[in-house]
Structure 1
């Protein structure tokens, strides 16, 4: 890891995020707050509901992993990969917009440990996550 312009890396990562087919399918949006946390927003889409018309837990897990990955990625010169990932679904929700946020707990030369959360647009906490991300040998494109 070398000293880097995190703002420039984040701008490139937003472009990378926007180019991903899964992101386009989900309709997610990525931004960063002042603390450098990745914020992943998902407008309500009934296509992501399960049979009881609540938002499927897999959607929230995807948001958690994405928020952690994009929080950690700007800090590395190489592509990173999710090594380990944990999801805690706290409460079912329906017909609401969601926001996931990542936070770095520990940043090393090759490993980042992050905590993530998903809240409704009204700030209700509905899911927690934790993940470990490692730098690979593949140079980053950001």
Structure 2
């Protein structure tokens, strides 16, 4: 991996207890946008035997956070997220992606999507407040 910040963020992602439970993978595309992949696990289903909406929101937030942090170079926290659940996941593996639409002095604004092989499942817009800088080196 040629981008040291991407490598650092992927290491942090892989060590997070939440991710160890969910089993999401993180990579960055050529535009420096996070791509989060999740293989469906039935233990995260709701009573209707499909992926719980909380998993969808988590994937959206992960993709947005890791894109905002990578592209701004700042430590960020999610300060606002607006989610639209559009269709059932239909027991499919999911992929969340994000893109920065504004990188300001105090916040980063991103748009995120979650898709399955059958199509778009959810979208979100979020604000990520900048709270510090990553350690150098």
TM range (shorter): over 0.9
* Aligned equivalent of 2:134, options 126, 137, 140: 140
- In structure 2, the partner of 1:15 is 11
- State the distance in 2 between where 1:42 and 1:125 align: 15
- In structure 2, the partner of 1:126 is 121
The correspondence of residues 27-38 of structure 1 with structure 2, limited to 5 A, is 27-38=23-34
The correspondence of residues 52-91 of structure 1 with structure 2, limited to 5 A, is 52-91=48-87
- State the distance in 1 between where 2:128 and 2:102 align: 11
TM-score between the two structures when normalised by the length of structure 1: 0.89
- Runs of 4+ aligned residues of structure 1 deviating over 4 Å after TM superposition are none
Aligned length: 135
- State the distance in 2 between where 1:135 and 1:70 align: 13
* Partner SS for 1:93: coil
Q: Aligned in 2, Cα 1:23/1:141: closer, same or farther, shift over 3 Å?
A: farther
Unmatched 5+ stretches in structure 1: 1-5
Displacement of 1:80 in angstroms is: 0.8
Post-superposition CA distance 1:28-85 (Å, at most 9, x none): 0000111111000000100110000011001000000110000010234542111100
Q: Aligned in 2, Cα 1:141/1:40: closer, same or farther, shift over 3 Å?
A: farther
